[in-house]
A and B are shown apart, each in its own frame.
Chain A
Amino acid sequence: MTSQSRAADITSIAKEETMTAKIIVTDRRVLLTGALAIGAAGLLPRSVTPATAQSSASNGFAPTETMAGGSNNYVANAPLVQNLGTGFVASGVVRRAGDGKPLSNIRVQIWAATERGGERVPSNRGSVMTGPDGSYRLDISPIVPQFGQPHIHIAYDDPGFATLFLRPVLNSRHDKALTADFVLAPAAGNEPRRS
């Protein structure tokens, strides 16, 4: 069984177990710890259960928040590509905030430092579209750490929804895949507030 399919299995387990609102699955260790913690939380009396475990049912899918450093080395409008090399797979599901409906035909921009060079190298930058089930997938050359951490950058920067920049970190620099699901907020949420 490949690490990728194992990651996918764990993802589905976690989803069943937590019905979590904010799904950013970036890291197997975090995911397992989280699943265990929430499983343990289920044994606690209701009043002690953390708010995160309770809010999911009432709020539905909360929008994913932009991560610190997520937009570093971003160059707008990464070209649509078939792949950015092979050896590493970035994938995930894009959903709409609220009801969690998978969003199809959404442009996901990805850039990362690979064996072929840093984040700014044009061939390390590309866009993919989500399929009918809201999922995206991009093959990339093996990821190397840039600025001390092996990570990739993911951007949603189109008019339909609020702009989002993610910077998921790999569990290990030798990982062959990373799953990053995220939830987009309505575009209005990102507009400057009018007084």
Chain B
Amino acid sequence: MSRDGADRRRIAAWILVAAIACVPVLAAAASPLQRGRELLWIIGGMAGVLALSLLFLQPLLMAATPPLMQVRAGVTWHRRGGIAIVAMVAVHIGALYLYSPEDITDALLLVAPTPFSLYGVISLWCLVLTAALAATRRVLKIGYRPWRILHSVLAVAVVGASAIHAIQIEGAMEEYSKLAICIAALLVTTVAAVEVNVLAPMRRRTALRKA
């Protein structure tokens, strides 16, 4: 493959990825529902939308690195992406707590009347566990194989629960772009989990056998 072809493929891939990630964020920001909202409500809502978009980007940084960027850069950005997701979720919950403490308290204690709160909380705790494990992986001496399996399972849980959470919410997100980003995030996470845990190890084995 020529160098020009690789560059063109990389640019095309980035345009597609950026479009899928940005459209729901821009659509939510442009929603007429934002007009009457107080600042904390806007911040809390948009942080959730951004976190959802980042959940779509995050697996790509690990599993689609040859087309998108170099593998080493991918690992660095995957780590930054993880920190950004945790930060966005913290802002999402923190700002909404400051805006309406009782609603968030109900949600966290699983007594809210809204069905999507449960999925938000499931996603939150899976994310907390993921972040805690990522931060202490070396201290706990978790090997690469169990780590990638555990991390993939948690990632699928976080994205799955987040998608249900988002789809059930009636809010500023535009319906079609919301559905699109949720499906895209689920698809990318599933494919990435299969790639990292099944396809890549298989390729490595084949390469070893040939050598």
Contact = CB atoms under 8 A, between A and B. Distances in A.
Interface stretch (A131-139, A142-150, A185-193): A142-150
Interface residues of A, number: 25
B141 interface: no
Contacts of B111: 68-69
A180 to B, nearest CB: 15
Dominant secondary structure at the A interface: loop
A97 B116 CA distance: 34
B113 A68 contact: yes
Interface centre among A69, A71, A117 (most CB of B within 10 A): A69
Interface residues of B, number: 21
Nearest to B32: A115
A147 B37 contact: no
Contacts, number: 63
Contact of B171 (A72, A114, A119, A145): A145
Contact of A144 (B36, B38, B96, B103): B36
B210 interface: no
A172 to B, nearest CB: 9
A176 interface: no
Given A68-B111, A69-B106, A148 B170 contact: yes
Interface in A106-156: 113-121, 144-150
Interface string B78-116: 000000000000000000100110110010000111101
B37 A118 contact: yes
A73 interface: yes
A91 B96 CA distance: 30
B76 interface: no
B200 interface: no
Contact of B114 (A71, A73, A118, A148): A148
Contact of B36 (A68, A71, A115, A167): A115
Interface of B: 33, 35-38, 41, 96, 99-100, 102-103, 106, 111-114, 116, 168-171
Interface of A: 67-69, 71-73, 113-121, 144-150, 167, 169, 173
